[in-house]
């Protein structure tokens, strides 16, 4: 039967089913390191394909099967169905049997001696490194499958200055295997990392003890008894648009619930995103975005506001980066955001944010005379602009037991979408 058996290899001897599939194959494909490592047990005179260029190798493999060349085997690392070659084979409508070994992520956590049912796993191989970095900003434990554009040096450089530790596992299951803990700064200065490698990134800002690798696994917003019951972990909290009382703030400098609900709907924060909260005040929007899985940078010129944002982040067990400085000047050296919430600042701030944002800018305005300049600034940046006025009235009980409507201050929310 012209089928492909995908054999996972983790450095240990092959299982009997894998060895039988290999012996029966008329063609064997795999990476150079797999073919070299398993060379002594490959059937003699069997045709091989080296997956240096995966697309070319797959074309040769499918041509072999289409010509009735007999069963084929593909060698791959670990679990080929987990960020591996199986997806590409299925796209070619091939008849696939998978014989997995331990995945590189499983081995990395085993070498680190850590549980990982509450970890996030991201791939930086052939993808934007910044999305992997943003997950590392937001989540307490992340395994990063590295690639040429996202090796430990580049990952460390992107995380420098944040409270993180990195466990780098190189050449897992191979004679050259090497593992070590390091800081992002230490990882960034090295250029001798060996491929392939997997990096575990841990948030030391959420430690439960003196050991920098001992981190509270509790998901934001969940009870501690709920931790570790779901894999992957729940991507969003059980609720958002929290009451103002859930945050510490100064002189009511906080975005109201109704405004935050609208802002979150337009920002669309999620894992892999980076959100700027410019003029963060209490940090309520920043914290809400972080609870939804986004990486967040909160910016304010007022040190007291920055302190409130840090306190609220700790209260809600999320990680945000707080930057003290005045926009728009402070924005220049920050990583590029996917979405921006502007809670304070004039049209020059909005213009700067619109220039940087990949996806959307959301602006909350209490003063009606700022609406037109804000609209124009977003439109001038080439964004599609829309807006709405929020005038909410909340139910309040009177002494005699009846309810009245208590009006909140009206706010105009204007957003621009790229």
CATH at residue 211: 3.30.950.10
Q: How many domains does the chain have?
A: 3
Q: How far is CA 107 from the centre of its chain?
A: 21
Domain co-membership, 261 together with 406: yes
Task: Report yes or no: 120 and 28 within 8 Å, Cβ to Cβ.
Answer: no
Structure token digits, residue 414:
């204007």
Is the previous residue joined to 376 through a cis bond, with omega within 30 degrees of 0?
no
Q: Which residues of 158-182 are buried (b: 16+ CB within 10 A; e: fewer)?
A: bbeebbbbbbbbbbbbbeeeebeeb
Domain co-membership, 356 together with 309: yes
Domain co-membership, 78 together with 156: no
Domain co-membership, 266 together with 213: no
- Quote the domain boundaries for residue 113: 105-226
pLDDT band at 226 (very low <50, low <70, confident <90, very high): low
Mean pLDDT of the chain: 91
**Average pLDDT score over residue span 7-23:** 95
Query: What's the CATH code of the domain at 18?
Result: 3.40.1010.10
| Pairing of the two strands 393-397 and 403-407 | antiparallel
Q: In this model, does residue 244 exceed pLDDT 70?
A: yes
Give the E-state strand segments of 171-294 in sequence order. Answer: 178-182, 197-203, 274-278
Domain co-membership, 326 together with 386: yes
Q: Examine the fold and report which residue of 102, 130, 151 is the final residue of a domain before the chain moves on.
A: 102
Give the E-state strand segments of 211-286 in sequence order. Answer: 274-278
Q: Examine the fold and report which residue of 53, 80, 102 is the final residue of a domain before the chain moves on.
A: 102
Domain co-membership, 98 together with 165: no
Q: What percent of the chain has pLDDT over 90?
A: 78
Domain co-membership, 369 together with 386: yes
What is the gyration radius of the CA atoms in the chain, in angstroms?
26
**Average pLDDT score over residue span 57-85:** 93
Domain co-membership, 169 together with 310: no
Q: Examine the fold and report which residue of 172, 196, 226 is the final residue of a domain before the chain moves on.
A: 226
Domain co-membership, 174 together with 219: yes
pLDDT value of position 54: 86
**Average pLDDT score over residue span 154-176:** 95
User: Is 113 inside any structural domain?
Assistant: yes
**Average pLDDT score over residue span 216-223:** 44
According to DSSP, the residues that pair with 278 across neighbouring strands are: 299, 342
User: Is 134 inside any structural domain?
Assistant: yes
Residue whose pair of structure tokens reads 């894999």 in the numeric block: 231
351-396 pLDDT, tens digit per residue, is 999 999 999 999 999 999 999 999 999 999 999 999 999 999 999 9
Domain co-membership, 166 together with 180: yes
pLDDT value of position 111: 97
pTM for the predicted model, two decimal places = 0.89
Query: What's the CATH code of the domain at 355?
Result: 3.40.50.150
Q: What is the DSSP string of 277-312?
A: EET-TT-HHHHHHHHTT-EEEEEES-HHHHHHHHHH
């Amino acid at each position: 039967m012209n089928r492909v058996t995908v054999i996972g290899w983790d450095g240990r001897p092959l299982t009997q089913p894998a060895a039988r599939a290999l012996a029966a194959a008329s063609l064997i494909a795999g990476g150079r390191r797999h073919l070299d490592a398993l060379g002594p047990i490959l059937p003699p005179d069997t045709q091989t394909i080296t997956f240096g260029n995966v697309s070319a190798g797959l074309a040769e493999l499918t041509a072999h099967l289409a010509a009735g060349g007999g069963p084929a085997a593909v060698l791959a690392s670990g679990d080929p169905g987990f960020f591996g070659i199986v997806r590409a084979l299925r796209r070619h409508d091939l008849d696939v049997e998978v014989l997995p070994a331990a995945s590189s992520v499983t081995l990395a956590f085993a070498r680190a001696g850590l549980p990982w049912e509450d970890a996030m796993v991201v791939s930086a191989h052939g993808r934007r490194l910044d999305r992997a970095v943003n997950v590392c900003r937001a989540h307490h434990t992340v395994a990063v499958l590295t690639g040429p554009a996202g090796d430990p040096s580049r990952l460390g450089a992107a995380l420098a200055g944040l409270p993180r530790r990195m466990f780098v596992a190189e050449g897992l299951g191979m004679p050259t295997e090497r593992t070590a803990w390091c800081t992002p700064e230490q990882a960034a200065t090295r250029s001798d990392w060996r491929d392939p490698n997997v990096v575990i990134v841990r948030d030391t800002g959420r430690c439960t003890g003196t050991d920098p690798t001992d981190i509270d696994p509790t998901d934001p917003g969940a009870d501690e008894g709920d931790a570790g019951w779901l894999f992957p972990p729940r991507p969003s909290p059980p609720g958002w648009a929290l009451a103002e009382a859930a945050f510490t703030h100064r002189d009511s400098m906080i975005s109201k619930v109704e405004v935050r609900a609208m802002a979150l709907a337009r920002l669309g924060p999620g894992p892999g995103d980076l959100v700027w909260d410019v003029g963060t005040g209490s940090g309520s929007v920043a914290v809400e975005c972080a609870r939804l899985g986004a990486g967040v940078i909160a910016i304010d010129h007022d040190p007291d506001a920055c302190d409130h944002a840090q306190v609220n982040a700790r209260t809600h067990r999320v990680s945000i980066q707080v930057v003290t400085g005045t926009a728009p000047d402070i924005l220049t050296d920050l990583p590029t955001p996917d979405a921006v919430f502007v809670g304070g600042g004039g049209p020059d701030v909005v213009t700067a944010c619109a220039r940087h944002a990949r996806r959307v800018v959301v602006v909350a305005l209490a003063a009606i005379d700022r609406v037109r300049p804000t609209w124009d600034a977003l439109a001038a940046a080439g964004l599609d602009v829309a807006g709405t006025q929020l005038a909410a009235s909340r139910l309040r009980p009177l002494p005699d037991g009846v309810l009245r409507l208590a009006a909140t201050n009206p706010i105009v929310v204007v957003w621009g979408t790229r």
